Amino acid sequence: MMLDYDNQEQNRRPFWLRALWKVTKTASVVLILSFVIREFMFTNYIVYGQSMMPTIQDGERIIVDKIGYEIAEPERFDLIIFHADEESDYIKRIIGLPGDELYYESDTLYVNGTEVEEEFLEEPRSEASADGFTDDFTLQDLTDEQTVPEDHVFVLGDNRQNSIDSRQIGFVQQEEIVGRANLTFWPPQNIRFIK
């Protein structure tokens, strides 16, 4: 009997009030889920500048995975978003991991004394001048450190000749990493997973 009374009471409310209540509940759930997903799982960024060309073009929008590094460590060649300072976030590629000794010689990356292939640079290297694409350097020349410190990474832009990266700003603390760039979604003709 109690259920019948509740149903009768509910049916006495005006239709618009019942509809408004349903819309409010649905909108609240959607907003809360959106906030949780954006704040803790994924976010999007607009890339400004040419430092990651040709991998990512100026003006492209990307999806960033914010939870991946909560369960796994960054890997060499991941594309990451990090807080460069209080106003700016950068997107760069991880070249050096904690404990790595690295240097460039004759446009070739050496990590811990072993040559490491950078396949993502094949196209821009083929278009570069005869002087090479990445200038020679050692970690010690740039940072006074022999190896990448613990809880830090060394990053470079894919457009080596037009990038502000660890060669100028130094190592990136892992706690400053927002997440890993996974996907470009705008403009629509450029939708793709990022390598």
In tens, the pLDDT along 146-179 reads 999 999 999 999 998 889 999 999 999 999 999 9
Helix spans in the chain (H):
2-12, 15-36, 68-71, 122-127, 139-143, 166-169
- Domain with residue 84: its CATH number is 2.10.109.10
Please check whether residue 61 is in contact with residue 186, taking contact to mean a CB–CB distance below 8 angstroms: yes
Could you tell me the residue range of the domain that residue 13 belongs to? Answer: 2-39
* Contact criterion met (CB below 8 Å) for 81 and 45: yes
173 and 96 assigned to the same domain: yes
- Quote the pTM value: 0.77
Higher-scoring residue by pLDDT: 137, 20 = 137
Whether 25 is a known active-site residue: answer no
Q: Out of 25, 34, 66, 92, which one is annotated catalytic?
A: 92
Catalytic choice (51, 66, 163, 166) = 51
Same domain, 33 and 52: no
Residue 124, pLDDT > 90, answer no
**Helix and strand numbers, DSSP H then E, in the chain:** 6, 12
92 is known as an active-site residue: yes
